[in-house]
Structure 1
Amino acid sequence: MSTATLDRPVTAPARRRTLPPAVAFTGAALAFASLYLAAGAPTPLLVLFEHEWGFAPWVLTVAFAAYAFGLLASLVVVGALSDHVGRRPVLIASLAVELAAMLMFVFAPNIGWVIAARVVQGVATGAASSAFTAALVELAPERHKRLGGILGAVAPAGGLGLGALLTGAAVQFTHRANLIVFTALAVIVALGTATAILSAETVTRRPGALASLRPRVFVPRPARPDFVAAAPAHLASWMLAGLFMGLSPSILRDVFHHSSGLLNGVTAFVPPATAATAAYLLSRHPARHVVRLGTVGVLLGAAIVLAGIATVTLPLLWIGGLIGGAGFGATFSGALRAVGPLAEAHQRAGLFAAVFLVAYLSFGVPAIVAGQLVAPLGLLTTVLWYGAAIIAAALAALAAQLRLAR
């Protein structure tokens, strides 16, 4: 596509047959959730791949975190593109890339292919996330605009947890979990692509597409106090999410001596599921109060998780995951609600890119560092230090939030 094509004003296309608004809204919500359903699906499979292909344990954390880096790169480059070329083109292209990632998983012959598929998957999710979040609000029926915003916050966490749970069940009860899971996801993504093709466009295309591709990470001055105060909270909560989504299969196998695929899926499911629930239930409460409450939840949950791992008490691991997951959902949703109104419309994409930059770096980098430390320190020692870092970050976040309140 030429520069002139991207940047010139585009006239409205001829009218075409589109899905009814309610159907388009429901389809968009399900397609958005399917991206994160697919993102959570590999968690129980990675240990299975490690057993089958015999790679080093640290490679597992790289395969887990590769998704976050692909997502970040895509988000900061094309996150605002749909404001210029329209939601539909970005969603259709992103879902097509996601479909390619699902097929890469189906036919992956080794861990290198899995890592590549995770990167492609992250790129697709990052490109689609801002467009889907906006489209859900724009496609929502007039009486349910708030529902569109809530789904935009809840679908990612809920999808991650449900993807891990369903894949865990497939690992436990079938012999072709990889084929079954990613073939099913490929079909779901293909249906989501068809829905995007048949949905109505919700914004008028405008010039500036190429300029929007410049990476934009910008925090407006009015939003900086809330952004800075929330940064250590994002670090703590996303590290806790990384512990359950990236490290829990190894912890269950090597510390608790359980190799059940279903148990892996259930354990990874707990924090994202409670995160989605907390984000929904607390959506009407003041944003700063929700961030403080969530930070306390992450702190308490991480302490209980550490106690469970140190004493090899599995129920404590789950209880800590429930409490910490609720704190994660409260912290992240509250922080987004706190900074969003403090930016002008043309600054919002750059601001949210900055928030997600902190979040996904916290999700991926500590997990990779932990993976590198497993060999010299041992898994148990590494995980205990990892948990201690979560607690330290949560304490710093609580102090920052209290200073902000004063």
Structure 2
Amino acid sequence: MTTYATPTRKAAAPSRPRLDLPHLVWALAATHFVSRAGGVVQSFLVLYLTQEQGLTATTAGAVVAAVGVGGIGSQLLGGWLGDRIGRRNTMLAGFLGTAVALAALGSADTVPAIWAAAVGLGLTADLFRPAGAAAVADLPARQRIRAFGLLFWAANLGFSIATVTAGVLARHGYGLLFWINATASVVAALIVWRRVPETRPPAPEQPRRALLPVLLRDRLMLAMTLLYVAYFTLFLQTFATLPLIMTADGHGPATYGAMLALNGIAIVVGQPLAVRLLAGRDPSAVPAVSILLVGAGVASSATAHSTTGYAAAVLLWSLGQIGIAVMFGGAFADLAPADLRGSYMGIASATWSVGGVFGPLAGTVLLNQAGRGALGAVCAITAIALFAGQLALGPALRSRTAA
């Protein structure tokens, strides 16, 4: 009978989650996919406000900006709540609050009500992100890179679906978009409720530390935060300047949409391979090279003229984007103290939101004032400076990871 011992162990292996990840990670990936695939409102919010609600373009832009600024607060609040009331409860509050805010925004018929619903949406829509990131950061370090990579892949797969379906659904009325988006948030909340356990470490016997004093003493975390605010400003300006540049070259919205689809396809196809190749690599060298790729890509997109040139530029910065995504969450998780993981991951997530505010402003101003050649040059120089800065942080990152 002892001859059956080895086959028995092998037979049990398929019941384990793929990639050797716990069920928690697959449940979180499902919430990311559902919320992004159902996130059909954001792309058409300006059109809804101007065409159906009759707001001016300036007012509609201000409402969308309010949602974006609220997203910064949402990231920070989500991290803080994740440390105080738990990762699971914060995600539930975020998804359910988003559903309520979407329903309110879709049914609001006065400007004050629209503003109130927009602020509510901004403050709730991203609560789940730092809380989910903190739940992954609670895992053993060897599982984090693959876990964060899976979440990024699932979110981008959902985003790719949303970009394809949103335009079709909008033909049947903007109201349908709001209810689909709200329903997706409720479904994500149900997944959290049924499948996501609480992972927050037990509360320490001593009083919980305040974030700010710890953060101000953590020079490495401050340096990483500033570096990634600059990186996301560099990267996210592309989504404001590229459509303007392509329009000036005579390319229509369909061509720009094809470039976005190419970005999504590249991520969905390349992300799983990148996780296998980059897991265990230097936590500073990989992001540094990735930043350089992104910089080369966005600089090339500013100076390209043909569809082939734009496609090559998009593929280039997509490769860099994948490299950043694979290493980003794990790097900040390694920096975070156990009792402040949620808050640290909230700050990390907020770097994207802050870049999303600064990037379009800086990019469009530079494009309008100095032209696309200057925009491309500034992007390239910025990427080289960030590449050097990320490499300079390498010894400190390796030391903190080892500790």
Mark the runs of 5 or more structure 2 residues left unpaired by the alignment.
1-20, 396-403
1:184 Cα deviation from its structure 2 partner: 2.1
1:159 Cα deviation from its structure 2 partner: 4.1
Match of 2:4 in 1: none
1:305 Cα deviation from its structure 2 partner: 0.6
Give the aligned CA root-mean-square deviation in angstroms. 4.4
1:179-194 matches, within 5 Å, as 179-194=175-190
What SS class does the counterpart of residue 202 from structure 1 fall into? coil
In 2, Cα distance between equivalents of 1:383 and 1:191: 43
1:64 Cα deviation from its structure 2 partner: 4.7
Provide closer, same or farther for how the CA distance between residues 370 and 339 of structure 1 changes in structure 2, counting only shifts above 3 A: closer
Match of 1:329 in 2: 322
In 2, Cα distance between equivalents of 1:318 and 1:46: 27
Residue 241 (1) aligns with residue 236 (2): yes
Match of 1:71 in 2: 71
TM-score w.r.t. length of structure 2: 0.71
Provide closer, same or farther for how the CA distance between residues 30 and 42 of structure 1 changes in structure 2, counting only shifts above 3 A: same
What letter is aligned with 1:267? M
- State the number of aligned residues: 369
Provide closer, same or farther for how the CA distance between residues 193 and 347 of structure 1 changes in structure 2, counting only shifts above 3 A: closer
What letter is aligned with 2:235? L
1:33-182 matches, within 5 Å, as 33-37=33-37, 41-43=41-43, 46=46, 50=50, 62-107=62-107, 117-135=117-135, 147-171=146-170, 174-176=171-173, 178-182=174-178
1:72 Cα deviation from its structure 2 partner: 1.7
Match of 2:17 in 1: none
In 2, Cα distance between equivalents of 1:201 and 1:175: 38
In 2, Cα distance between equivalents of 1:57 and 1:85: 40
1:304 Cα deviation from its structure 2 partner: 1.5
Match 1:256 to one of 250, 253, 264: 250
8 Å CA contact 1:31, 1:192 repeated in 2: yes
8 Å CA contact 1:68, 1:360 repeated in 2: yes
In 2, Cα distance between equivalents of 1:381 and 1:48: 33
In 2, Cα distance between equivalents of 1:320 and 1:234: 22
1:233-382 matches, within 5 Å, as 234-244=229-239, 246=240, 256=250, 258-260=252-254, 263=255, 265-271=257-263, 274=266, 280=272, 281-282=274-275, 283-284=278-279, 285-308=281-304, 311=305, 313-368=306-361, 373=365, 378=368
8 Å CA contact 2:137, 2:333 repeated in 1: no
Q: 1:8-45: CA deviations, max 9, x gaps?
A: xxxxxxxxxxxxx9887645422233334455752355
8 Å CA contact 1:162, 1:269 repeated in 2: no
What letter is aligned with 1:240? F
1:320 Cα deviation from its structure 2 partner: 1.6
8 Å CA contact 2:237, 2:356 repeated in 1: yes
Match of 2:3 in 1: none
In 2, Cα distance between equivalents of 1:387 and 1:47: 30
What letter is aligned with 1:125? A
In 1, Cα distance between equivalents of 2:107 and 2:118: 13
What SS class does the counterpart of residue 80 from structure 2 fall into? coil
Provide closer, same or farther for how the CA distance between residues 53 and 386 of structure 1 changes in structure 2, counting only shifts above 3 A: farther
1:50 Cα deviation from its structure 2 partner: 4.8
In 2, Cα distance between equivalents of 1:46 and 1:362: 20
Provide closer, same or farther for how the CA distance between residues 339 and 222 of structure 1 changes in structure 2, counting only shifts above 3 A: farther
What letter is aligned with 1:397? L
Match of 1:397 in 2: 386
8 Å CA contact 2:50, 2:56 repeated in 1: yes
Q: 1:240-291: CA deviations, max 9, x gaps?
A: 23432x555555556535244xx55443444455456655414413221211
> How much identity, in percent, do the aligned residues show?
16
In 1, Cα distance between equivalents of 2:118 and 2:372: 24
8 Å CA contact 1:77, 1:215 repeated in 2: no
8 Å CA contact 2:145, 2:326 repeated in 1: no
8 Å CA contact 1:103, 1:186 repeated in 2: yes
1:93 Cα deviation from its structure 2 partner: 1.5
Provide closer, same or farther for how the CA distance between residues 199 and 288 of structure 1 changes in structure 2, counting only shifts above 3 A: same
In 1, Cα distance between equivalents of 2:227 and 2:28: 32
1:234 Cα deviation from its structure 2 partner: 4.5
1:292 Cα deviation from its structure 2 partner: 1.6
Mark the runs of 5 or more structure 1 residues left unpaired by the alignment.
1-20
